[in-house]
Amino acid sequence: MAYSDRVRGVFGSQLDEIREKGLFKQERFIHSAQAADIEVEFPSGADVRKVINICANNYLGLSSHPDVVKAAHEGLDSRGYGMSSVRFICGTQDIHRQLENKMTEFLGTEDTILFPSCMDANAGVFEAVLTSDDVMISDRLVHASIIDGMRLCSAQHDTFKHSNVEHLEKKLQLHADKRLKLVINDGVYSMDGDAARLDEIAELCEKYDAMLFVDDSHASGFIGKTGRGTHEKCGVMGKVDIITTTFGKALGGASGGCVSGRKEIVEMCRQKARPYLFSNTIAPVVVSGVLKVLDILSASTERRDKLEANTAYWRKGLTEAGFVLKEGDTPIVPVMLFNAKLAQDFSRDLYEEGIYAIGFFFPVVPNGQARIRTQISAGHEINHLDKALDAFRKVGKKHGILGLSKGEIIDKYGL
Amino acid sequence: MAEMKDIVLEYVREEYMEDEDEELNYDTPLISGGIVDSFSMVSLKRFLENKYNIQIPDEKATPEAFDTVNSIVALVQEYIK
Ligand SMILES: Cc1ncc(COP(=O)(O)O)c(C=O)c1O
């Protein structure tokens, strides 16, 4: 044993430092299935409370949908529980390939390869496709998993200001001499809920002979008229060369991800992407659930339409109540509080009112931009939203911020 | 060397600042203040190397050394012959 007191102390003092900075993360235990109404134990050991969940990525309300649960049961019965192998040895079932084909059709791409998660898709794809003769040019607010993936890749990297196409164009000119250029974006940015300007970005990519990458984790299933994603919303279906996305949010919410796009790129991933080669893929029970999700979404746009209506209702209600929101039209609706302590207090008070929503502050979002991030779902009914609006009004009034502008909130609470 | 300070300051403003009115001076913390993330620091390093015809070794290009315009200028001066 070499876990001496000294070693324990090294970690102990790092953990203390995290606590002192107010950045210590704690889990809340949910005693029910994921849904609009959940039962939560928080803090650990406290009585379980029934609360309305407005912070899940369960955008389409499919996480516990009876048809999805039933399909998963059937998959479990017919294909078993585990594969005990990576894909290319003996870990690929017919349903894995079926899911890849269905995703290809759903996203309007050429081919698809599954990964254990979207984090793994992003960790594997860049290294599999690019070399040191190439450059990755990424938006400055892309997801952490993309940043990790780029770190693993020997291509040069550069960044452009968030959603700033003029700055992107300068970078494309600067890197004109590279063998391959890849422009990297999130489809919808999860902190602010804004969508990438993919129409303009795709045009630049064509002009400068660059490939286009989009992580559509917060879009697949509900953004665009038929829910195909940000490329549908922006009218550039067929023009995005690499899409990564997750099955862990709108598409049933269990786990898993994929890379979908040009067939040579997908084939390169099948030959070279390390998380695909060296880790088990999605379990058969989950694959069966996602197949059902895609059936539901291909048959009708009812759920994404309801989500859109719920989102509009929620935004209108909060605006009329006098909150400062981030502009946008996605189901990610940040309620801006600017001050970190206020965001924490606000979240705690909402919980007392039976509403589960989390405060975000530096370093997750920039300093002085603390907020409550709310996420709307097709699983919410109007009465859920009305109850949540009542709670926001009550807590907003308690803190005296209703009707205040950004400047007035900052004057009152500081940054 | 006042000139180099202003060149670096101008580059940082152009390349990293979202908001023209945001305060930026020679001692504004860039990395610890969240203006420049460690990933985007690469373009700043490349700019300095091209502009002043120098090579800054990766192990010297630390977030601390790049944290303010003043510290960047001090670093660059070590490598200008
Ligand atoms: C933009 C984005 N990409 C990737 C991921 C990771 O997805 P997964 O849970 O499938 O690893 C997330 C999840 O937080 C995300 O928001």
Same domain, A367 and A244: no
Q: State how far the Cα of A297 lies from the Cα of A357, in Å rounded to an integer.
A: 27
Is A218 labeled as catalytic in the residue annotation? Answer: yes
Residue A12 lies in a domain: no
Q: State how far the Cα of A175 lies from the Cα of A81, in Å rounded to an integer.
A: 48
The pLDDT assigned to A385 comes to 98
The angle formed by the CA atoms of residues A85, A90 and A93, to the nearest 5 degrees, is: 105
Q: State how far the Cα of A20 lies from the Cα of A223, in Å rounded to an integer.
A: 40
Chain A: residue whose CA lies nearest to B43:
A158
Q: Is the pLDDT of residue A9 over 90?
A: yes
Q: Is the pLDDT of residue A308 over 90?
A: yes
Q: Report the CATH number at residue B66.
A: 1.10.1200.10
Same domain, A295 and A311: no
The pLDDT assigned to B2 comes to 60
Q: If you count residue pairs, one on A and one on B, with CB atoms under 8 Å apart, how many are there?
A: 22
For chain B, the domain total comes to 1
DSSP character for A384?
H
Residue A101 lies in a domain: yes
Q: State how far the Cα of A366 lies from the Cα of A72, in Å rounded to an integer.
A: 40
Q: State how far the Cα of A317 lies from the Cα of A311, in Å rounded to an integer.
A: 10
Band the pLDDT of A178: cuts 50, 70, 90. Answer: very high
Domain range for B61 is 2-79
Closest ligand 1 atom to Cα of A143: 1
Q: State how far the Cα of A365 lies from the Cα of A369, in Å rounded to an integer.
A: 6
pLDDT tens sequence across A316-344 = 999 999 999 999 999 999 999 999 999 99
Distance from Cα A149 to the centre of ligand 1, integer Å: 12
Q: State how far the Cα of B35 lies from the Cα of A74, in Å rounded to an integer.
A: 51
Residue A284 lies in a domain: yes
Q: State how far the Cα of A196 lies from the Cα of A187, in Å rounded to an integer.
A: 5
Q: Which of A161, A178, A362 to mutate to test the interface with B (most CBs of B within 10 A)?
A: A161
The angle formed by the CA atoms of residues A229, A233 and A236, to the nearest 5 degrees, is: 90
Distance from Cα A10 to the centre of ligand 1, integer Å: 31
Is B39 close to A366, i.e. CB distance below 8 A? no
For the residues A34-52, what does the mean pLDDT come to? 96
Residue A59 lies in a domain: no
Q: State how far the Cα of A118 lies from the Cα of A145, in Å rounded to an integer.
A: 8
Q: State how far the Cα of A90 lies from the Cα of A234, in Å rounded to an integer.
A: 40
Give the residue among A194, A376, A223, A234 at the shortest CA–CA distance from A297. A223
The pLDDT assigned to A267 comes to 98
Closest ligand 1 atom to Cα of A188: 1
Chain A: residue whose CA lies nearest to B32:
A363
Q: Is the pLDDT of residue A23 over 90?
A: no
Indicate if ligand 1 lies below 6 Å from the C-beta of A186: yes
* C-alpha to C-alpha distances, A236 to A97, A141, A183, A201, A371, nearest whole angstrom: 26, 21, 15, 10, 32
Q: Report the CATH number at residue A314.
A: 3.90.1150.10
Name residue, tokens 């609006």: A389
Q: State how far the Cα of A166 lies from the Cα of A151, in Å rounded to an integer.
A: 25
Give the residue among A162, A168, A150, A219 at the shortest CA–CA distance from A190. A219
Instruction: Indicate the residue of A140, A158, A363 with minimum beta-carbon distance to B42.
Output: A158
Instruction: Indicate the residue of A140, A150, A367 with minimum beta-carbon distance to B37.
Output: A140
Same domain, A40 and A124: no
The pLDDT assigned to A2 comes to 87
Sorted by sequence, the CB contacts under 8 Å of residue A248 that are 6+ apart come out as A57, A117, A118, A217, A254, A255, A256, A257
Q: Of these residues, A218, A233, A292, A384, which one is catalytic?
A: A218
Residue A71 Cα to chain centre, angstroms: 24
Q: State how far the Cα of A313 lies from the Cα of B37, in Å rounded to an integer.
A: 36
Is A159 close to B18, i.e. CB distance below 8 A? no
Helix runs in chain B, H state only: 2-16, 41-52, 69-79
Same domain, A167 and A255: yes
Residue A164 lies in a domain: yes
Rounded mean pLDDT of chain A? 97
Instruction: Indicate the residue of A159, A362, A366 with minimum beta-carbon distance to B40.
Output: A159
Give the residue among B17, B5, B1, B22 at the shortest CA–CA distance from B72. B5
User: Chain B contacts of A146, Cβ < 8 Å?
Assistant: none
For chain A, the domain total comes to 2
For the residues A202-224, what does the mean pLDDT come to? 98
Same domain, A248 and A115: yes
pLDDT tens sequence across A241-293 = 999 999 999 999 999 999 999 999 999 999 999 999 999 999 999 999 999 99
Is A190 labeled as catalytic in the residue annotation? Answer: yes
Q: How far apart are the first and last CA of chain A?
A: 47
Indicate if ligand 1 lies below 6 Å from the C-beta of A374: no
Q: Which amino acid is at B76?
A: V
Q: Is the pLDDT of residue B1 over 60?
A: no
The pLDDT assigned to B46 comes to 85
Residue A235 lies in a domain: yes
Q: Of these residues, A102, A231, A249, A306, which one is catalytic?
A: A249
pLDDT tens sequence across B28-60 = 999 888 788 877 888 888 889 988 999 999 888
User: Chain A contacts of B37, Cβ < 8 Å?
Assistant: 140, 159
Q: Does the CA dihedral A332-A336-A338-A340 come out positive or negative?
A: negative
pLDDT tens sequence across A147-174 = 999 999 999 999 999 999 999 999 999 9
Closest ligand 1 atom to Cα of A142: 1
Q: Is the pLDDT of residue A19 over 60?
A: yes
Residues A175, A182 contacting (CB under 8 angstroms) = no
Helix H or strand E encompassing A337: strand A332-338
Cβ count near A88 (within 10 Å): 12
Distance from Cα A121 to the centre of ligand 1, integer Å: 9
Is B34 close to A140, i.e. CB distance below 8 A? no
Give the residue among A146, A128, A136, A144 at the shortest CA–CA distance from A276. A128
- The ipTM is 0.78
Q: Could you tell me which residues are beta bridge partners of residue A137?
A: A158, A183
Percent of chain A past pLDDT 70, that is, above it, reads 100
Domain range for A290 is 66-299
Structure tokens at B71: 């510290």
Structure tokens at A26: 């704690």
Same domain, A257 and A194: yes
Closest ligand 1 atom to Cα of A257: 10
Same domain, A132 and A249: yes
Residue A321 lies in a domain: yes
Give the residue among A395, A407, A412, A411 at the shortest CA–CA distance from A344. A395
Residue A154 lies in a domain: yes
Residues A352, A219 contacting (CB under 8 angstroms) = no
Question: What pTM, to 2 d.p., does this model score?
Answer: 0.94
